[in-house]
A and B are shown apart, each in its own frame.
Chain A
């Protein structure tokens, strides 16, 4: 049985004036994710094979996955399935990896979003829009105690929704 091959398509790097341990905590505890991850609370079993999910304020599970790598406070990788949205839930799960590197008085945080299929740019657009906001806000929480104010109406762009519907109809990843 072959392992799925995840190809990195979106990478976002930021540097945060805090410790690797604090960055790890911000990524894995609901008290933090609620502030910067669109109100979502993370629930994670910190071990390989452990469960991972992101629960919205109304209690719905929006994202679900499994822990693939867990090396605190250096590296965390989880599979990522957007179960909370119609059509999006039918796309193959992707892999989100966080790399945390100490750099003197700061930490370099690299988020990599990788996919198992030849995912078109119009669908990658969602992550490319969302991650800079999420990680900018995480940085602000860890440096100032305050998240970036959520004034932007951040849903998937219309073209992305159309492209997801089309992909789910054709299922190119099954070929």
Chain B
């Protein structure tokens, strides 16, 4: 069954707790997610808000919260005109600890699944370009202390625009 979805796996030299904090604490997301501040109290059903420069641009709802293993929330994109007609999608983060020889847990495997899209979703096209940028920046932030410098937010926007244009081209 080929349901539209985006899946990304990355391995990060960090602890599950630090990774969890980076995904759920707006003070951290702001540092690697190109200015995006995520806010939620992370209880089931609670709102999740995505903010940039103190303005809310997207929102969602907590579906699952099992720290530091599994986090899932819906995502309603309002930031672009052409995304507003789509129903909320779903993002799931799975964190697996890899135990090194000797039992010291120093690496994690992060699997991000973004699904619950209709066929032809423009949001899917956009996030397929955006997630690798954000997750690479998260990995750099956790491993080196510095987020990625990809010519600032412009690169992220450009990646989204290219993906959108490709989706338009594919639909034409």
Q: Which residues in A have some Cβ–Cβ distance to B below 8 Å?
A: 13-17, 103-106, 132-133, 136-137, 139-140, 143-144, 146, 148-149, 151-152
Cross-interface CB contact of B139 among A13, A104, A139, A146, cutoff 8 Å: A139
Q: What's the least CB distance linking A2 to chain B, in Å?
A: 27
CA distance A103 to B10 in the complex (A): 20
CB pair B143–A140 under 8 Å, yes or no, is: yes
CB pair B98–A151 under 8 Å, yes or no, is: yes
Q: What's the least CB distance linking A129 to chain B, in Å?
A: 8
Residues of A within 8 A of B11 (CB): 132-133, 136-137, 140, 148
B46-99 interface with A by 8 A CB criterion = 98-99
Name the residue of chain B whose CB is nearest to the CB of A143: B144
CB pair A13–B132 under 8 Å, yes or no, is: yes
Can you name 25 A-B pairs with beta carbons within 8 Å?
A14-B132, A14-B136, A15-B136, A17-B144, A17-B146, A17-B149, A104-B150, A104-B151, A105-B151, A106-B149, A106-B150, A132-B9, A139-B139, A140-B13, A140-B143, A144-B144, A146-B13, A148-B107, A149-B98, A149-B100, A151-B98, A151-B99, A151-B100, A151-B107, A152-B109
Interface string of B96-108 (1 = CB under 8 A from A): 0011110000110
Q: What's the least CB distance linking B95 to chain A, in Å?
A: 14
Q: Which residues in B have some Cβ–Cβ distance to A below 8 Å?
A: 8-13, 98-101, 106-107, 109, 132-133, 136-137, 139-140, 143-144, 146, 148-152, 155
CA distance A149 to B13 in the complex (A): 8
Cross-interface CB contact of A15 among B8, B99, B109, B150, cutoff 8 Å: B150
CB pair B12–A143 under 8 Å, yes or no, is: no
CA distance A162 to B98 in the complex (A): 27
CB pair A103–B132 under 8 Å, yes or no, is: no
Q: Determine chain A's interface SS by DSSP, over half rule.
A: mixed
Name the residue of chain A whose CB is nearest to the CB of B132: A13
CA distance A140 to B101 in the complex (A): 19
CB pair B148–A15 under 8 Å, yes or no, is: yes
Residues of B within 8 A of A14 (CB): 10, 132, 136
CA distance A133 to B99 in the complex (A): 15
Name the residue of chain A whose CB is nearest to the CB of B134: A15
Q: What's the least CB distance linking B117 to chain A, in Å?
A: 18
CA distance A149 to B106 in the complex (A): 8
Cross-interface CB contact of B13 among A16, A103, A105, A144, cutoff 8 Å: A144
CA distance A103 to B13 in the complex (A): 24
User: Beyond the given A103-B150, A149-B107, could you list 9 further A-B residue pairs with CB under 8 A, ordered by the A residue number?
Assistant: A14-B136, A15-B132, A15-B133, A105-B151, A106-B148, A136-B11, A136-B139, A144-B143, A148-B107
CA distance A14 to B143 in the complex (A): 15
Name the residue of chain B whose CB is nearest to the CB of A110: B132
Residues of B within 8 A of A143 (CB): 140, 143-144
Q: What's the least CB distance linking B93 to chain A, in Å?
A: 15
CB pair B13–A104 under 8 Å, yes or no, is: no
Residues of B within 8 A of A140 (CB): 11, 13, 139, 143
Residues of A within 8 A of B136 (CB): 14-16, 106, 139
Residues of B within 8 A of A103 (CB): 150-151, 155
